A and B are shown apart, each in its own frame.
Chain A
Amino acid sequence: MSTATRSLPRTIGAHAILITYTVIALFPVILVVMNSFKSRAGIFGAPLTPPTPKTFDLIGYTTVFGQGDFFHYFQNSLVVTVLSLFFVLLFGAMAAFALSEYRFRGNTLMGLYLALGIMIPIRLGTVAILQLMVATGLVNTLAALILVYTAQGLPLAIFILSEFMKQVSDDLKNAGRIDGLSEYTIFFRLVLPLVRPAMATVAVFTMIPIWNDLWFPLILAPSEQTKTVTLGAQLFLGQFVTNWNAILAALSLAILPVLILYVIFSRQLIRGITSGAVK
């Protein structure tokens, strides 16, 4: 080990900070998962201890699977998240490509306009969105949620992706043009694979708020048919009595799909076949 860049106190210090941060970040998640396997008395008696044979209870999970149509809620959440993500990435990447690749009048203004959404929270427009959805008859459909989330995710996607697309070599795109590839082929076959790490970043940033959102499902699609997991979990949250077992179990379950999606995308972040295209 080189002593010039590393010293023992510094290593310990760095690790201490990182470990502290990890603990703080993971603590609530672990607490939720841990308590979801405990009986009600166990949760309130000793919330910080892991389940013991005495307090171990699957009542939360049986309630979740027994009451309400949780499988259906999961399906709704997944459909909304995956489709929104797909549209955000597709349209975001296309807009970013147009902004970074083509010279046209109003290019900069268009870029600014598309990025404006980063600064203005979409929730400010909730009333107007609701009116719009009522007028178009989209209330209580998953399409309403997908449309809103696509709009919500696009500004950041375009902003990040256009920066990355500017870095894709012009020579490569021109080589494609000389070889007779269409602009679409250049975009899908040459440019997209090269910005895959950026796409994965955008996917992670876009996905998590959508999965966790309670606001729009509550307002736009609260029907039994279109409930998402976060909204479904509210079922157990009463004004006077709250079924903590069920809520904790539902939340623990809700972590799983998003965790799987995250693992898929984070692998993309690391893997890259970009080297060798250009010097």
Chain B
Amino acid sequence: MGSLKIENVKKAFGPVEVLKGIDLQVNDGEFVVFVGPSGCGKSTLLRVIAGLEDSTSGRVLIDGADVSVTPPAKRGIAMVFQTYALYPHLTVKNNMALGLKQAGTPAAEIERRIKIASAMLSLEPYLERRPAELSGGQRQRVAIGRAVVREPKLFLFDEPLSNLDAALRVNTRLEIAQLHRRLKATMIYVTHDQVEAMTLADKIVVLNAGRIEQIGSPMELYNAPANEFVAGFIGSPKMNFIDGARLGETAKTIGVRPEHLTVDTKSGAWKGTVVHAEHLGADTNLYLDCEKAGLITVRIFGVYNAEPGATLYATPDAAKTYRFGADGKVLR
């Protein structure tokens, strides 16, 4: 219970096409992350799945049943929003109970589910408080709890961590991952942060300008990006793209990840000058201005001392270099 199928979904706001034909299959129990830059249509796609927006054309099937004209409350979904969207006039407990009450669930059953969910998310001490009396992290846990008690076929997360500070973001990310493992529910998660996508997903859907660029597991996307966009979007720091002609290559663009470059003070493929060095402790990011390759980023594991202005030679790992054609697609 909890599969999703999207068939050729298109969405236009007036003349602006936001989704240009999306096909997607999500299996039961999968954690799928939609990732892409702002304005790529990932949130709109989530809203179409939730039923908060009607698609212009195409079908949405949950568990094989066409829900294109079913109202959100009847789709068997639950959603967690970026801004928490808790009901300000209700206590934490009633926030969680409202959806179930609307659906006519018996009081004892509501009580039981709230008990389980609040234990899972350590919300027991706050059940009688109002959202205004909670911190940001607690509010987001309440919002997640509100989704959990509905026992939905499909969990939808719309950038749930964007409003939290960095430390809380890591904690809540962990909680969501554990929640997925415990509930074995199907979850769809929208984010613009590729780190969240990589750490949470079973399957990542990379979207750009209303189209799916690639679908795959995090490692598939990292190791075998289908095109330049995916290659640049997945991985941090971003992949270096070098004009093929400058290197005397036939490919339009050559891509190499910062971590797949090695540096040497004496010899190497590309001679360059250190522009800036970022010391992160566990690794060091060097920005090199190379004669042949232009400005590139090199990621060195551990501490590496390099002064700006020093001359270094960078050498790409030939086995992990990507070649892209004029259309942006990877050449094999």
Task: List residues of A whose CB falls within 8 A of some B CB.
Answer: 169, 171-172, 174-181, 189-190, 193-194, 273-279
Contact check, B85 vs A174: say whether CB atoms are below 8 A apart.
Answer: yes
Contact check, A174 vs B88: say whether CB atoms are below 8 A apart.
Answer: no
Could you tell me the distance in whole angstroms from the C-beta of B60 to the nearest C-beta in chain A? 15
Nearest 9 CB-CB pairs, A to B? A276-B132, A180-B73, A179-B99, A277-B88, A180-B102, A171-B85, A276-B131, A171-B81, A278-B83
Contact check, B73 vs A178: say whether CB atoms are below 8 A apart.
Answer: yes
Q: Give the residue name and chain of the B residue nearest to A194 (CB).
A: B88
Contact check, A178 vs B82: say whether CB atoms are below 8 A apart.
Answer: no
Is B87 located at the chain interface by the 8 A CB criterion?
Answer: yes
Task: A193 to B90: give the CA distance in the assembly, Å.
Answer: 12
Is B130 located at the chain interface by the 8 A CB criterion?
Answer: yes
Residues in B whose Cβ lies below 8 Å from that of A180: 72-74, 99, 102-103
Contact check, B130 vs A276: say whether CB atoms are below 8 A apart.
Answer: yes
Is B312 located at the chain interface by the 8 A CB criterion?
Answer: no
Partner of B134, one of A171, A190, A276: A276
Task: A177 to B156: give the CA distance in the assembly, Å.
Answer: 14
Indicate with 1 or 0, residue by residue over B148-169, a CB within 8 angstroms of chain A CB atoms.
0000000000100001000000
Is B50 located at the chain interface by the 8 A CB criterion?
Answer: yes
Task: A30 to B85: give the CA distance in the assembly, Å.
Answer: 49
Given contacts A179-B73, A180-B73, contact A276 B99 (CB under 8 A): no
Contact check, A174 vs B79: say whether CB atoms are below 8 A apart.
Answer: yes
Given contacts A277-B85, A278-B85, A279-B163, contact A178 B136 (CB under 8 A): no
Residues in B whose Cβ lies below 8 Å from that of A274: 88
Task: A135 to B88: give the CA distance in the assembly, Å.
Answer: 49
Q: Give the residue name and chain of the B residue nearest to A179 (CB).
A: B99
Indicate with 1 or 0, residue by residue over B256-268, a CB within 8 angstroms of chain A CB atoms.
0000000000000
Task: List residues of B whose CB falls within 8 A of some A CB.
Answer: 47, 50-52, 71-74, 77-79, 81-89, 98-99, 102-103, 130-134, 136, 139, 146, 158, 163
Contact check, B77 vs A277: say whether CB atoms are below 8 A apart.
Answer: no
Contact check, A273 vs B88: say whether CB atoms are below 8 A apart.
Answer: yes
Complex A-B: 11 CB contacts under 8 Å: A171-B84, A171-B85, A174-B50, A174-B85, A178-B50, A178-B79, A178-B99, A190-B87, A275-B88, A277-B86, A278-B83
Could you tell me the distance in whole angstroms from the C-beta of A181 to the nearest C-beta in chain B? 6
Residues in A whose Cβ lies below 8 Å from that of B85: 169, 171-172, 174-175, 277-278
Q: Give the residue name and chain of the B residue nearest to A185 (CB).
A: B102
- Since A177-B52, A177-B72, A274-B88 are in contact, a sample of 14 more A-B pairs with Cβ atoms closer than 8 Å, ordered by chain A residue number, is A174-B85, A175-B81, A175-B85, A175-B146, A176-B87, A178-B79, A179-B73, A180-B74, A194-B88, A275-B88, A276-B132, A276-B133, A276-B134, A279-B83
> Which residue, B50, B99, B158, has most C-beta atoms of chain A within 10 A?
B99
Residues in A whose Cβ lies below 8 Å from that of B72: 174, 177-178, 180
Contact check, B88 vs A276: say whether CB atoms are below 8 A apart.
Answer: yes
Contact check, B73 vs A172: say whether CB atoms are below 8 A apart.
Answer: no
Task: A181 to B87: give the CA distance in the assembly, Å.
Answer: 12
Task: A179 to B80: give the CA distance in the assembly, Å.
Answer: 12
Residues in A whose Cβ lies below 8 Å from that of B83: 169, 171-172, 278-279
Given contacts A275-B88, A277-B88, A278-B85, contact A177 B73 (CB under 8 A): yes
Could you tell me the distance in whole angstroms from the C-beta of B245 to the nearest C-beta in chain A? 48
Contact check, A174 vs B52: say whether CB atoms are below 8 A apart.
Answer: yes
Task: A189 to B72: give the CA distance in the assembly, Å.
Answer: 19
Contact check, A172 vs B82: say whether CB atoms are below 8 A apart.
Answer: no
Could you tell me the distance in whole angstroms from the C-beta of B117 to the nearest C-beta in chain A? 15
Task: A56 to B10: give the CA distance in the assembly, Å.
Answer: 81
Task: A22 to B89: give the CA distance in the assembly, Å.
Answer: 37
Task: A277 to B98: give the CA distance in the assembly, Å.
Answer: 15
Task: A279 to B107: give the CA distance in the assembly, Å.
Answer: 30
Task: A278 to B83: give the CA distance in the assembly, Å.
Answer: 5
Given contacts A178-B99, A181-B102, contact A278 B84 (CB under 8 A): yes
Given contacts A175-B79, A276-B133, A279-B163, contact A193 B89 (CB under 8 A): yes
